[in-house]
Homo-oligomer: A and B are copies of this chain.
């Protein structure tokens, strides 16, 4: 067993400033792995250096990639960018202070999706307390029932509820829809929406112009050199989380500390590079194994989901940087331990070995003293025991794991974790030669959705008081019968004037509008 202890010590990457360590001793790699990978690791480090210096690191969109400058504005490639970042830091802080000092607001409704929601949700939950200055709520979808639920909890407090609308392009339909629904709800309640509305968006975007025209309370910028999934330390996160009262300066400082650490070119002392290499090792550089993320701490439950977005949207690409079809990816899932031990660790230990685990260990159990739930043992001791026990059990059955240990869930540590994984994703993308900073595949679904909305309007127009089948209407419209059929079923479910009669097969179902009365 001493060889495991030796391996643990040999490969441990740790830092006394943050108290964070990355333990790869339970990953399955041989002594030649790191030497073999060293040239590619150095190439990835060099690519990252170029990126940080302001190169067009996102070639498809011809954009710089600047999220690292957000916490070290002095590293921005031009004085103008540096000033923009510093102004944003100052202005978001002043705005939050002014709102809090006014005493007028108790809540904020944040409207965004993807990178414009998940980052703020993660930090809000990880660092929030009962003493928060404002309580955050989210619209993160275009589900009208979901919005109704959130509005129902806020309905008597609209007067004291800010609305923060976050959309880089300003044209994301889910976010635009949520904004219009919130605006309508405020109007119904007779509350001035514009006086409570804040936009976080690209300068001169559709949303920016709308907010300006309506005289919204405030507007903050987003930049094309910050991608949605790495925007948490831009105004996207700064505005809502400073309003909540979180110490975002400490989050930024923690990220900056991690950035400095992960710039080291000594592979085995660079925790982000070590993580990237472990992903490569586990999945043979082609995503052959899923990454299961298990933070043993309730506050970090959304970190798993945050990493799911960060990793999968960055790495899941059809083409490599040379345009070769590679269908890369790295599937990520997980919630939290020890809860997930009662959900699917059964499969992890005994079942299909198609994953590697990432344990996130938080050393500190709680603030204050603890009850002994058994002689000499607290809840925190059990939590630690379950993590270590599961790591051992997985290792014994030949399952690999990485363990990231942090002292506590503080603003600095959360910032450091974000920065650690942002850079690991960038390194890994270099190792497998894909562009981590675009998302071309998202467009196909959007285009198909737009076509479906267009078709729905035609289908509605083709309905008559005489019952018709989907194939009949499809023939009229020269459209696909299945798409027409689903449009009809959807209309019948959501419009009392459209009536459906079920036939033997979907093709025999009939649809009609009620006769005008």
Q: Which residues of A are at the interface with B, using a C-beta cutoff of 8 A?
A: 1-2, 4-5, 8-9, 12, 14, 16, 113-115, 117-118, 129-130, 140-149, 152-153, 173-174, 176-178, 180-181, 184, 228, 286-287, 290, 296-299, 305, 308-309, 312-313, 315-318, 327-333, 335-339, 341-355, 363-368, 370-371, 373-374, 376-386, 388-390, 392-393, 396-397, 405, 407-409, 439-442, 444-453, 456-457, 460, 471, 480-483, 485-486, 489-490, 493-494, 502, 505-507
Contact of A350 among B296, B327, B368, B471 (CB under 8 A): B327
Judge whether A343 and B287 touch: CB under 8 Å: no
**Residues in chain B near residue A393, CB distance under 8 A:** 441, 444-445, 447-448
Tell me, rounded to whole Å, the shortest Cβ–Cβ distance linking A433 to chain B: 14
Judge whether B379 and A316 touch: CB under 8 Å: no
Since A318-B397, A327-B353 are in contact, a sample of 13 more A-B pairs with Cβ atoms closer than 8 Å, ordered by chain A residue number, is: A9-B507, A129-B149, A130-B149, A141-B383, A144-B379, A178-B379, A286-B352, A348-B441, A363-B494, A380-B490, A385-B449, A388-B452, A389-B447
Mostly, the A contact residues are helix
Contact of A346 among B129, B312, B379, B447 (CB under 8 A): B312
The verdict on A350 contacting B141 (CB below 8 Å), with A290-B290, A388-B486 known, is no
Tell me, rounded to whole Å, the shortest Cβ–Cβ distance linking A298 to chain B: 3
Residue of B whose beta carbon sits closest to that of A395:
B448
Residue of B whose beta carbon sits closest to that of A387:
B449
From A115, A331, A336, residue with most partner B Cβ within 10 Å = A331
From A346, A371, A452, residue with most partner B Cβ within 10 Å = A346
Judge whether A441 and B367 touch: CB under 8 Å: no
Judge whether A145 and B397 touch: CB under 8 Å: no
Judge whether B407 and A343 touch: CB under 8 Å: no
The verdict on A352 contacting B379 (CB below 8 Å), with A339-B113, A388-B449, A449-B385 known, is no
